[in-house]
Structure 1
Amino acid sequence: MKRAILGFLRRNGQKAYRPKEIARHLGVKEQEAYALFQETLTHLAEQRLVARRKGNRYAYRPQPKKLVGTLSVHPRGFGFVTVEGEADDYYVPANRMGTALDGDRVRIGLAAHRRGDQRHEAEVLEVLERRRTRTVGTFLKKGHFALVRPDDTRIVHDIYVPREAFHGARNGDKVVVSIDLFDDPHARPEGRVLQVIGRADDPAVRVLALALSMDVKAEFPEQVLAEADALRAEIPRAERSRRLDLRHKRIFTIDPVDAKDFDDAIHIEKLDNGHYEVGVHIADVSHYVRPGTALDEEALARSTSVYLVDRVIPMLPEKLSNVVCSLRPHEDKLTFSCIMEVTPRGKVVRYQIRETIIHSKQRFTYEEAQAIIEGKNQRHPFAADVRRANKLARTLTRKRMASGSIDFDLPEVRVVLDEQGHPVEIIRKERMDANRLIEEFMLLANRTVAEHIGMRKNPKPFVYRVHDQPDEEKMRQLADYIRAFGYRLDLKDGRVDPKQLNDLLQAVKGTPQEPVIEEAALRAMSKARYDTNNIGHFGLGFKHYTHFTSPIRRYPDLMVHRLLKAYATGQKNADVDDLQARCEHASERERAAVQAERESVKLKQVEFIANHVGETFDGVVSGVTSFGIFVELTDLLVEGMVHVRDLDDDFYEYDERNYRLVGLSSGRTFRLGDAVRVTVAAANLETREIDFVLAE
């Protein structure tokens, strides 16, 4: 019956028929058959396979193109589906979401454009893969059942938990809850409590819950810990005899004051020919973490250490990251070294990549190394080494920038916490010459290692750190955006010269617009990722680049070490499909880690500001929308919103072309980069949102 109805209506195009007319054409005469016919026709209309028109008439509905993609849900309930190979996302209204959740792989059907709306509108036809099978939220007891309100606002449904699935959770607990059943868009998803994290009002629990909500793994399985405990820091005699022994070199480390996972050390010597010998020595994690072990599987699953506001969640157990592999001073350590001969102008003329043994003779904090760079503590035994390294680093920076490297110097903050985990101070991080020194030496080693493989006539499968050209449309939008401030980007077919971007960043330095233009330029960039296909690194201006220098905290670096060792000993080429799958997983986990790190800082910023409601601060307009202006506080780098409803001195209209709000009567204008004074009106820890009002 279904096929007959659809066939008849399809053959007759857009012509609409009453049910009895369709039945007559199909030869439906019996009363019982007609009842089935009506039921089928109604069902087809509900499935949107036929269209019901005015006057109870039915016509064939042309079926929309079906696409498969990944759904991203907005906290307000609507979403966008990203389809691989498609430039534009597809907008899905909340009432066409079906049972799809954020992150799901879905099949969508395209609806027609609305008049005057250029967006592609779609509806979810089918959930192909449920990417989220659990989430984190607050347990709210409702008598014989409970609801878990997800912390992640992209999950817009509370999770229903029956009484038998409470598993010890109490009202007000933060919990991990499963998502077991969601097959009815008119009902809530159903699940069970998997883990009770702690009380929702505990500061440490809030941060941990945030990380867990982004699938960050906090605890190591017992088998992984057992394998780590079995490893010994003592170096076997066989390793001492086969490795290049560099224990006599003046090797030192420069790291944050609270660091324990020292995965890189350096040395620098002036050679008789006037060149420098630069050694970058990296913890040889691949010696200890072998493929096929529980340690390796867990490291791959995590792919990165996560640096939250109040703790580090390491990729490897602390026995490895802080003891066995860590390049602690005055201890013999196994390393993988890139030793380069570098001219005073910063050109690498020779190099060797070797398995080595080192003995770090000095551990500097960044502040201690900076003091030497600034001329203090010149009697320190390693003062000359630090100065020499800094001199070469400055040369490397100039050379890199002249070749088209882009230097984003966005400010960062450090949140100081008390013993209970409450924020007591927000400090702007200073990027010192000592930081840049280490950055340049790591960049040099990473580039040299990538060229070692990538510049061969027939390069072997390898892991690269790549950064694509910016999207042409985003570059055009950036050019339009900065034009409102009097700056220009000359694009050629939507492409931008990296040197132009650098000139722009230099031009805005010290201006009120600096933070908003730097942020806009950064957002216009593609995201760096790991890939076996070497397309180069646009942001650095390198044709070949990889990550070699941090295997304690990044799994791709561990992959690179293994590949280098395998190829050096004549082993067969790696399976490129397996490498690519691991690259994609590592890239995804990196994005999640960065988001968790940023959100944990934002959480503490909101908590800090919550203690300053009613106080007034200086800020700069960092965003303009039709519903208000975003303001970033100058000293604290905390962003909040002044809602347009609170701009009660006038009626304000949004000027989209010039990114500003304009008062219709007064002409008063708020535009990006404007300096303003605001008073804290409210701070919401649950949503991590801050409300400001303009100070009188």
Structure 2
Amino acid sequence: MKKKRNITSKKKVSGSKKKANRRAHQMTRRQLTENILSTFAKRPGEILNYKQISRDLNISSAALRQQVFSIMQDLAFDHLLLEVDRGRFKYNALGHIIEGVFQRDHRGNNKLLPDDGSTPIDIADCNSNHALTGDRVRAQLFAKRKGKNLEAEIIQIVERKDQQLVGVIEVSPSYAFFVTDDKKVGTDVFIPKEELNGAKDNDKVICKITDWPSNAKNPLGRVIAVLGPQGDNNAEMHAILAQYGLPYKYPENVEKEADKLSLDLTKEVLKGREDFRKVTTFTIDPADAKDFDDALSFEKMGENKYQIGVHIADVSHYVTPKSVIDEEAFSRGNSIYLVDRTIPMLPEKLCNDLCSLKPNVDRLAYSCIFTMNDEAKILEYHITRTIINSDRRFSYEEAQQVIETGEGDLKEEILKLNQLAQTLRDKRFKNGAIGFESQEVKFKLDEKGKPIGVYIKESKEANHLIEEFMLLANRTVATHIGKVKDKRTKPKTFVYRIHEQPDQDKMLNLRDFIGKFGYKLKTSGSNLEISDSFNKLLSDVHGKKEETLISTIAIRSMAKARYSTENIGHYGLAFDYYTHFTSPIRRYPDLMVHRLLTEYLNGGKSQNQEKYEEACKHCSETELIAAQAERDSIKYKQVEYMQSYLGKVFDGIISGVAEWGLYVELSESHCEGLVPMRSLDNDFYIYDEQNYCLIGRRTKQRYTIGDKVTVKLAAANLERRQIDFELV
């Protein structure tokens, strides 16, 4: 009997092994990998070989055991296991769990950005564990599959990002949902009735997520601000600002602090300032400008000799470090210019009154005073604090009329300054500055902010006049502080506006691409030789069919300018030293420059570089965010403008090509929209990334940047700020 029971027992075991092997055979390699990792994780300190792991998983098949060994080798290669010696492995806890920030892009793709700066890791929606963009998370890595990116599953949300979401409230009798088109969010938010904060159905609101229970399909949230009815101009502009975490109103305590300030021209205030109140001085600004932060003075000093003052609002006199006004200005980093409004960096009392260089009132300024001859050669200069009184406020159009007709107020001063500015401009390009000319889209708005017309703002001599003297002042200030006579002396800490040389690989790609059109580009040699070649290319393509294509790609090859305490020069302007000194009302870096100037002109020692480098980084980031908000406001107004033209046919130029379709810019209004790939139904189109075109597989039809096309307006979606065209 005993023997019989043993035989039965063996049969049961044998059957169990067969079932285990059968289950293992039915597993995918990924499932088997996860089981192997799980086994190691349960025995973290032990050193195990493939036989021990196979035994733990009830695997006896030779083929499967060989697969177990193969997987363990792959896991060691991916640093999830450590191979202690040949064929013997242990669990690598550090390689298995990774921390970082969760990000979802505008196309709904999820990534984990590891803290160590290594390659981003894919996170499937089903493995995101309710993480939201910006959350700090801990994730468990999966074994790397051949031909696939690294993948992981979020196992813990370490810290929720305190973020505000912008969208629309949909209110039902017993509940409400917050809905957003922002694909980086990826979910609607359930809003309990008591958390509506007065929001009504179809209101544009700012929402904050308060919780996301593990068993809930949607997160819970509350409305923290009601912006107004969807479609209302103010509500939509505020929504754009809120989307980027930008303020749409000024804090009351900061406004109150600004109201305490006054223009009190005491002897103490005027001590050490040069008095320019009797020197001819004027401003040239856009017609709708309210804050005037720069003025020019002009005085003839004799035959072929002129004294020209570049006077900049002395914001640092009023805004002291670490004051509430200063902290708010630093947080903002810069003013923001939406289509229909300006969100100022400083309170209105300062930017539109005390600091604004308005005509016929005394104002404090920080000035670069130049003595020049007719060839625009600087005979001498000095940097000083001044008091000025502007004689006249010109719009660009008024100054341009004086230049074109030779008649009008202050004609002698404006004409001479224009001649000097043109000479400075010519010298700049001869020294290697690159002549990119960007178009600025402007809107004619009715009293409710609705666009009734679109036009392109032209840059003429009056614009160049101001531009060249501002560039001169910026370069002079940067050189004055940054260029030391003794090379053994380290320059004092300063804030520079820098622009790196183009990436060599991008330049080579550009050279190869334009070669297909018969153009050449020098990619090696001196900066002057390369920039001359760049300018020749831009000149050669002007007016040609391929101008849009080549200009677009040329601009993309350039780096973005930024702020830094490490001076590397400004490649695009061909300046060895350059800073931003001329707009402290609307840019915080200019305010930092004014303060550093004061310190150093008074004999002060070099300031803390690390502190200023952090501030530079912050200001570079706020500049990019402001630019994104500005572009979104333009896009919104373009869509709003086009809504009344549904079904109409327009001529346009292909301005961009992507795997999801063609971007077309209309020739007359310059509004841009998408021809979705799905609408190109006459063929299957392949995206040729290297040649910036779509190619029909059967017809070989090509659509390339710069091609002229005719399109019909198919849709204008304000919520998504998206225009859809169809090719005609």
- Within 2, Cα distance between the matches of 1:660 and 1:86? 33
Q: After the TM superposition, which of the residue ranges 62-71 and 162-171 deviates more from structure 2? A: 62-71
Q: Is the 8 A contact 2:639 2:722 kept in 1?
A: yes
CA deviations over 1:531-579 (Å, ceiling 9, x no partner): 1111221221212111110011111111111111112223343222221
- Within 2, Cα distance between the matches of 1:8 and 1:682? 62
Aligned to 1:198: 228
Aligned to 1:579: 612
Aligned to 1:455: 483
Aligned to 2:450: 422
Query: Which of residues 17, 26, 30 in structure 1 aligns to 2:54?
Result: 17
> How far is the alpha carbon of 1:426 from its aligned partner?
0.7
Aligned to 1:399: 427
CA deviations over 1:247-286 (Å, ceiling 9, x no partner): 1111110000010100000123444362442211000011
CA deviations over 1:118-162 (Å, ceiling 9, x no partner): x67666676666555212211122444322223543222223322
Query: Which of residues 569, 593, 601 in structure 2 aligns to 1:560?
Result: 593
Structure 1 SS opposite 2:187: coil
Read off the aligned partner of 1:398 and give its amino acid letter: D
Query: Which of residues 119, 140, 159 in structure 1 aligns to 2:170?
Result: 140
Q: Is the 8 A contact 2:108 2:183 kept in 1?
A: no
Query: Which of residues 162, 176, 187 in structure 2 aligns to 1:157?
Result: 187
- Within 1, Cα distance between the matches of 2:542 and 2:135? 42
Q: After the TM superposition, which of the residue ranges 617-626 and 76-85 deviates more from structure 2? A: 76-85
Matched, 1:550 2:583: yes
Read off the aligned partner of 1:200 and give its amino acid letter: Q
Aligned to 2:695: 662
Q: Which structure is larger by alpha-carbon Rg, 1 or 2?
A: 2
Mapping 1:21-420, distance limit 5 Å: 64=95, 72-79=103-110, 94-95=125-126, 97-104=128-135, 115-116=146-147, 130-150=160-180, 152-182=182-212, 184=214, 187-272=217-302, 274-376=304-406, 378=407, 380-420=408-448
Q: Is the 8 A contact 1:281 1:337 kept in 2?
A: yes
Q: After the TM superposition, which of the residue ranges 574-583 and 559-568 deviates more from structure 2? A: 574-583
Read off the aligned partner of 2:460 and give its amino acid letter: M
Q: Is the 8 A contact 2:174 2:193 kept in 1?
A: yes
Cα 1:471–1:371 change in 2 (3 A) is: same
Cα 1:128–1:399 change in 2 (3 A) is: farther
Q: Is the 8 A contact 2:44 2:90 kept in 1?
A: no
Q: After the TM superposition, which of the residue ranges 341-350 and 683-692 deviates more from structure 2? A: 341-350
> How far is the alpha carbon of 1:628 from its aligned partner?
2.4
> How far is the alpha carbon of 1:480 from its aligned partner?
4.4
- Within 2, Cα distance between the matches of 1:106 and 1:21? 34
Read off the aligned partner of 2:107 and give its amino acid letter: R
> How far is the alpha carbon of 1:90 from its aligned partner?
5.8
Matched, 1:499 2:499: no
Cα 1:430–1:106 change in 2 (3 A) is: farther
Q: After the TM superposition, which of the residue ranges 577-586 and 557-566 deviates more from structure 2? A: 577-586
> How far is the alpha carbon of 1:659 from its aligned partner?
2.7
> How far is the alpha carbon of 1:466 from its aligned partner?
1.4
Aligned to 2:11: none
Aligned to 2:469: 441
> How far is the alpha carbon of 1:469 from its aligned partner?
2.4
CA deviations over 1:415-460 (Å, ceiling 9, x no partner): 1111122111111111111111111111110010011111123311
Read off the aligned partner of 2:626 and give its amino acid letter: A
Cα 1:494–1:449 change in 2 (3 A) is: closer
Read off the aligned partner of 2:359 and give its amino acid letter: P
Structure 2 SS opposite 1:497: helix
Aligned to 1:29: none
Read off the aligned partner of 2:422 and give its amino acid letter: R
Cα 1:17–1:343 change in 2 (3 A) is: farther
Aligned to 1:624: 657
- Within 1, Cα distance between the matches of 2:301 and 2:374? 11
> How far is the alpha carbon of 1:237 from its aligned partner?
3.1
Q: Is the 8 A contact 2:716 2:722 kept in 1?
A: yes
- Within 1, Cα distance between the matches of 2:93 and 2:115? 24
Read off the aligned partner of 1:102 and give its amino acid letter: T
Q: Percent identity?
A: 44
Cα 1:591–1:105 change in 2 (3 A) is: farther
Structure 2 SS opposite 1:170: coil
Aligned to 2:674: 641
> How far is the alpha carbon of 1:615 from its aligned partner?
0.8
Aligned to 2:712: 679
Cα 1:494–1:72 change in 2 (3 A) is: farther
Read off the aligned partner of 2:337 and give its amino acid letter: Y
Cα 1:384–1:112 change in 2 (3 A) is: farther
Aligned to 2:503: 471
Q: After the TM superposition, which of the residue ranges 318-327 and 105-114 deviates more from structure 2? A: 105-114
> How far is the alpha carbon of 1:410 from its aligned partner?
1.9
- Within 2, Cα distance between the matches of 1:21 and 1:651? 50
Cα 1:177–1:548 change in 2 (3 A) is: same
Q: Is the 8 A contact 2:48 2:90 kept in 1?
A: no
- Within 1, Cα distance between the matches of 2:142 and 2:303? 71
Q: Is the 8 A contact 2:569 2:576 kept in 1?
A: yes
Query: Which of residues 539, 564, 569 in structure 1 aligns to 2:572?
Result: 539
Matched, 1:520 2:553: yes
Q: After the TM superposition, which of the residue ranges 337-346 and 626-635 deviates more from structure 2? A: 337-346
Aligned to 2:64: none
Read off the aligned partner of 2:578 and give its amino acid letter: Y
Read off the aligned partner of 2:133 and give its amino acid letter: D
- Within 2, Cα distance between the matches of 1:176 and 1:462? 39
Structure 2 SS opposite 1:138: strand
Structure 2 SS opposite 1:578: helix
Count of aligned pairs: 662
Q: Is the 8 A contact 1:173 1:197 kept in 2?
A: yes
CA deviations over 1:220-266 (Å, ceiling 9, x no partner): 22221111111113422322343110111111100000101000001
**Structure-2-length-normalised TM-score:** 0.83
Aligned to 2:544: 511
Q: Is the 8 A contact 1:410 1:519 kept in 2?
A: no
> How far is the alpha carbon of 1:497 from its aligned partner?
2.5
- Within 1, Cα distance between the matches of 2:398 and 2:447? 26
Q: Is the 8 A contact 2:664 2:672 kept in 1?
A: yes
**Structure-1-length-normalised TM-score:** 0.87
Read off the aligned partner of 2:187 and give its amino acid letter: H
> How far is the alpha carbon of 1:313 from its aligned partner?
0.8
Read off the aligned partner of 1:17 and give its amino acid letter: S
> How far is the alpha carbon of 1:4 from its aligned partner?
7.4
Q: Is the 8 A contact 2:548 2:705 kept in 1?
A: no
